């Protein structure tokens, strides 16, 4: 009875460990059940082991993948994606190491900044893909010129940088720069098209131009900018004069930004008169920077920096607004003319800005004249088409458009015919030379004839004497402008001059 109770207690103790003596006294069914349970546990353990092994292997794989990804990201941070060359970050690090090594050894080394001209134009005309192909080809050419110890990097969209190590003397950088220019300016092939780019190269030398990486790169960049502004196919070594010039530009840029914020720009006006009546028909707005320390400054002092940095756009908008506000206080028959730089004229906000200023000041559109130069029209077909559309939009609003300094550029007769501007302003150099130069007089007569042919009024600029005025009249000019009729003056003085002229006329 006791044995029966133990065997049928209903407890499933098959998971309890068994010794050989325990098994002997058990019924066969219990032994089978316990062995089956044990087999199940072994299978569970085996499955769990395989699962743990898979998890462990996956974890190791993910760790390797993460490490590879981190290394890839780190590489991307210091590599130019297009050319595969080191980027600016990597270049500056390499330059720091090179500068430290050469400073300790006393050996000469060169830092070269290479500006690629026309690459941005290729990007605009043919797209990013074509520009990337050009950049890669240029990178390969530069590699072929350099020695194994030199460092090459792409430090900007249109710039490459080099570290020329172990120079015998600093002048050794000159022949290398010439080879670089030749390599860059050889014809390129992109999608079956032959393209050419040009280069401006600046060189700074260690230890003469400094021992710090940042200083050397900045001075190479300043020399490159000097080379760019003074003609193509040039390389320029840094010198103190270039450094002073660069500091001046940086100082002016910073002061211009402050001047824009504080409204330091004002306007003076130069009258334009009808040649026969001598009555003022319009006043040209001339920007003046009322510098808190240097006093009134003309555009020659800052216009190049403003144009290069793009600050000419907010400055120009301040001038446009002030000119339109002043013109509302003048007689209704007197207009105002405002010069637009190429950057302003081609800007996307010009038409909206004109609309807003006319609406807010209440000036009638026909009293506003904008003056543009031939350069503003552009040279590429797409640029010219956009310029002609902008001119048409302005004239459609009632705003008058004048082509300024006509004769000093390269505007073709076909383009002049397509422009359909309201006025041609003859460059003052031709007007002043008429009395002594038969050719200049012929040019003035020809331009006056063209103006009549194309329906544009012709204005003689730069008139300083009565004889020049008379010759301009005989040549066919209907209006004139220049110091003969007064110096540039503030709006209040111009307004008084016009009131006095009105009183005398009565």
Convert the pLDDT of each residue in 421-458 to its tens digit: 899 898 888 888 887 888 888 888 988 888 888 888 99
Query: Regarding predicted confidence, which is higher, 65 or 436?
Result: 436
Report the pLDDT value the prediction gives residue 7, as an integer from 0 to 100. Answer: 44
CB neighbours (10 Å) of residue 212?
Answer: 14
Report the pLDDT value the prediction gives residue 417, as an integer from 0 to 100. Answer: 67
Which token pair is 110?
Answer: 């060169």
CB 286 within 8 Å of CB 488? yes
The crossing angle, in degrees rounded to 10, of helices 438-453 and 466-475 is: 50
- Averaged pLDDT for residues 369-378: 86
pLDDT category, 323, cuts 50, 70, 90? very high
Nearest residue to 285 (alpha-carbon basis) of 404, 204, 388: 404
What 8-state DSSP symbol labels residue 292? T
Q: Is 21 exposed, middle or buried (0-12, 13-18, 19+ CB in 10 A)?
A: exposed
In whole angstroms, what is the distance from residue 230 CA to residue 225 CA? 9
Q: Is 148 exposed, middle or buried (0-12, 13-18, 19+ CB in 10 A)?
A: exposed
CB 411 within 8 Å of CB 377? yes
In whole angstroms, what is the distance from residue 467 CA to residue 473 CA? 10
Query: Regarding predicted confidence, which is higher, 381 or 300?
Result: 300
Question: Poorest-confidence range of 33-37, 148-152, 156-160, 296-300?
Answer: 33-37
In whole angstroms, what is the distance from residue 181 CA to residue 1 CA? 112
Nearest residue to 450 (alpha-carbon basis) of 414, 405, 480, 481: 414
In whole angstroms, what is the distance from residue 59 CA to residue 492 CA? 81
- Averaged pLDDT for residues 269-283: 93
Please give the mean pLDDT across all residues of the chain. Answer: 83
> Is 219's pLDDT higher than 70?
yes
Rg (CA), the chain: 39
Question: Poorest-confidence range of 83-87, 368-372, 427-431?
Answer: 427-431
In whole angstroms, what is the distance from residue 147 CA to residue 149 CA? 6
Report the pLDDT value the prediction gives residue 69, as an integer from 0 to 100. Answer: 52
The per-residue b/e assignment along 330-350, b for 16 or more CB within 10 angstroms, e otherwise, is beeebbbbbbbbbbbbbbeeb
The tens digit of pLDDT for each residue in 160-183 reads 999 988 777 667 788 888 888 889
- Whether residue 207 has a cis bond before it, omega within 30° of 0: yes
Nearest residue to 459 (alpha-carbon basis) of 473, 438, 442, 440: 473
Report the pLDDT value the prediction gives residue 22, as an integer from 0 to 100. Answer: 58
Which token pair is 261?
Answer: 């914020």
Question: Poorest-confidence range of 50-54, 159-163, 281-285?
Answer: 50-54
Report the pLDDT value the prediction gives residue 23, as an integer from 0 to 100. Answer: 57
pLDDT category, 48, cuts 50, 70, 90? confident
The tens digit of pLDDT for each residue in 117-161 reads 888 778 777 888 888 899 999 999 998 888 777 889 998 888 999
pLDDT category, 242, cuts 50, 70, 90? confident
Which token pair is 22?
Answer: 């325990």
Q: Is 167 exposed, middle or buried (0-12, 13-18, 19+ CB in 10 A)?
A: middle
> Is 462's pLDDT higher than 80?
yes
In whole angstroms, what is the distance from residue 480 CA to residue 274 CA? 7
> Is 477's pLDDT higher than 70?
yes
Indicate the pairing of strand 295-297 with strand 280-291. Answer: antiparallel
Indicate the pairing of strand 280-291 with strand 188-190. Answer: unpaired
- Averaged pLDDT for residues 91-106: 81
Query: Regarding predicted confidence, which is higher, 388 or 233?
Result: 388
CB 436 within 8 Å of CB 380? no
């Amino acid at each position: 009875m006791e044995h029966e109770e133990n065997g049928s207690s209903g407890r499933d103790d098959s998971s309890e460990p068994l010794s050989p003596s325990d098994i002997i006294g058990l019924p066969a069914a219990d032994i089978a059940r316990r062995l089956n349970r044990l087999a199940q546990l072994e299978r569970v353990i085996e499955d769990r082991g395989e699962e743990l092994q898979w998890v462990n292997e996956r974890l190791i794989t993910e760790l390797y993948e993460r490490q590879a990804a981190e290394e890839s990201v780190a590489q991307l941070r210091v590599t130019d994606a297009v050319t595969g060359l080191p980027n600016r970050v990597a270049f500056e690090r390499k330059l720091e190491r090179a500068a430290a090594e050469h400073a300790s050894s006393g050996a000469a080394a060169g830092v070269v900044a290479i500006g690629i001209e026309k690459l941005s134009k290729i990007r605009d005309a043919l797209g990013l893909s074509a520009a990337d192909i050009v950049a890669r080809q240029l990178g390969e050419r530069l590699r072929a010129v350099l020695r194994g110890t030199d460092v090459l990097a792409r430090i900007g969209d249109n710039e490459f940088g080099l570290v020329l190590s172990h120079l015998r003397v600093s002048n050794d950088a000159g022949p290398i720069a010439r080879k670089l220019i030749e390599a860059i300016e050889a014809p390129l092939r992109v999608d079956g098209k032959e393209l050419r780019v040009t280069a401006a190269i600046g060189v700074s030398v260690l230890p003469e131009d400094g021992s710090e990486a940042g200083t050397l790169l900045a001075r190479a960049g300043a020399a490159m900018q000097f080379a760019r502004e003074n003609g193509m196919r040039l390389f320029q070594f840094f010198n103190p004069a270039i450094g002073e010039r660069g500091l001046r530009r940086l100082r002016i840029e910073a002061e211009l930004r402050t001047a824009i914020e504080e409204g330091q720009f004002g306007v003076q006006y130069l009258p334009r008169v009808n040649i026969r009546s001598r009555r003022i028909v319009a006043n040209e707005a001339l920007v003046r920077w009322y510098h808190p320390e240097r006093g009134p400054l003309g555009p020659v002092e800052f216009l190049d920096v403003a144009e290069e940095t793009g600050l000419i756009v907010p400055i120009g908008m301040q001038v446009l607004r002030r000119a339109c506000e002043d013109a509302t206080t003048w007689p209704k028959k007197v207009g105002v003319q405002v010069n637009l730089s190429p950057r302003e004229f081609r800007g996307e906000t010009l038409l909206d800005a004109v609309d807003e200023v006319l609406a807010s000041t209440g000036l009638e559109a026909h009293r506003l004249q904008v003056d543009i130069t031939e350069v503003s029209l552009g040279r590429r077909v797409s640029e010219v088409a956009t310029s002609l559309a902008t001119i048409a939009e302005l004239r459609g609003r009632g705003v008058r458009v004048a082509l300024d300094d006509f004769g000093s550029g390269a505007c073709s007769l076909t383009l002049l015919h397509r422009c359909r501007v309201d006025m041609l302003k003859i460059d003052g150099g031709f007007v002043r030379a008429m009395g002594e130069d038969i050719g200049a007089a012929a040019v003035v007569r020809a331009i006056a004839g063209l103006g009549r042919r194309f329906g544009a009024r012709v204005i003689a600029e730069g008139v300083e004497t009565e004889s020049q005025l008379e010759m301009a009249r005989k040549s066919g000019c209907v209006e004139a402008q220049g110091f003969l009729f007064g110096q540039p003056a503030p709006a209040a003085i111009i307004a008084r001059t016009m009131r006095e002229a009105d009183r005398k006329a009565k």
